[in-house]
């Protein structure tokens, strides 16, 4: 059984109100064979929407909504056998295998965006930029219906929206 150890370290952000400590994984670190985990991962095609297009669509609505998908990568499970390629060692020198998408791996953006597009279905597909939802409607009731739909769709995958803003 082969595995890949992914180096990691903590980044401390004292001024953050929500996430004081963030773990950073270095999947680009070369292993003993001269290749990194990112060198061998299949990344998939680019699915990320063009930010300019998302903002333009958003500005066309009379009533707009903006929200952030909280810790999106941590909400998306990987196949159990793929955890072998995301092994980390902790302080006690015990090996742990990451079971969710890991920020810093080259395949994570494709998987995360594909999954959120699937959850949000077609009508919101062009109104999501990475982990941000920017949408709206011509009426307040329409905007609230969209908000409720997005909340329900993302909750079905244990994703939560935070940092809401309305106009």
| Tens of pLDDT, residues 37-46 | 888 888 887 7
Domain ranges of the chain: 8-166
8-166: what CATH class? alpha beta
Average pLDDT score over residue span 68-81: 86
Distance CA 33, CA 52 (A): 41
Distance CA 36, CA 90 (A): 20
Q: Are 1 and 87 in contact (CB under 8 A)?
A: no
- Express each pLDDT in 88-134 by its tens digit: 887 778 888 888 988 888 888 888 888 888 877 755 677 777 788 88
pTM (two decimals): 0.70
pLDDT number for residue 79? 85
Give the pLDDT mean for 65-70. 87
Token pair, residue 154, equals: 């993302």
Q: What is the pLDDT of residue 167?
A: 67
């Amino acid at each position: 059984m082969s595995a890949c150890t992914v180096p990691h370290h903590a980044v401390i952000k004292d001024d953050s109100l929500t996430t004081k400590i963030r773990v950073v994984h270095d999947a680009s670190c070369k292993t003993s064979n001269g290749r990194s985990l990112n060198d061998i991962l299949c990344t998939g095609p680019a699915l990320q929407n063009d930010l300019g297009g998302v903002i333009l669509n958003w500005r066309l609505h009379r009533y707009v909504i903006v929200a952030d998908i909280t810790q999106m990568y941590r909400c998306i499970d990987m196949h159990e056998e793929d955890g072998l390629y995301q092994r980390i060692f902790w302080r006690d020198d015990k090996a742990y295998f990451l079971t969710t998408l890991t920020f810093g791996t080259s395949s994570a953006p494709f998987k995360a965006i594909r999954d959120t597009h699937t959850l949000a279905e077609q009508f919101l597909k062009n109104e999501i930029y990475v982990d941000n939802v920017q949408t709206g409607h011509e009426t307040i009731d329409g905007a609230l219906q969209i908000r409720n739909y997005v909340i329900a769709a993302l909750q079905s995958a244990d994703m939560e929206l935070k940092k809401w803003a309305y106009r």
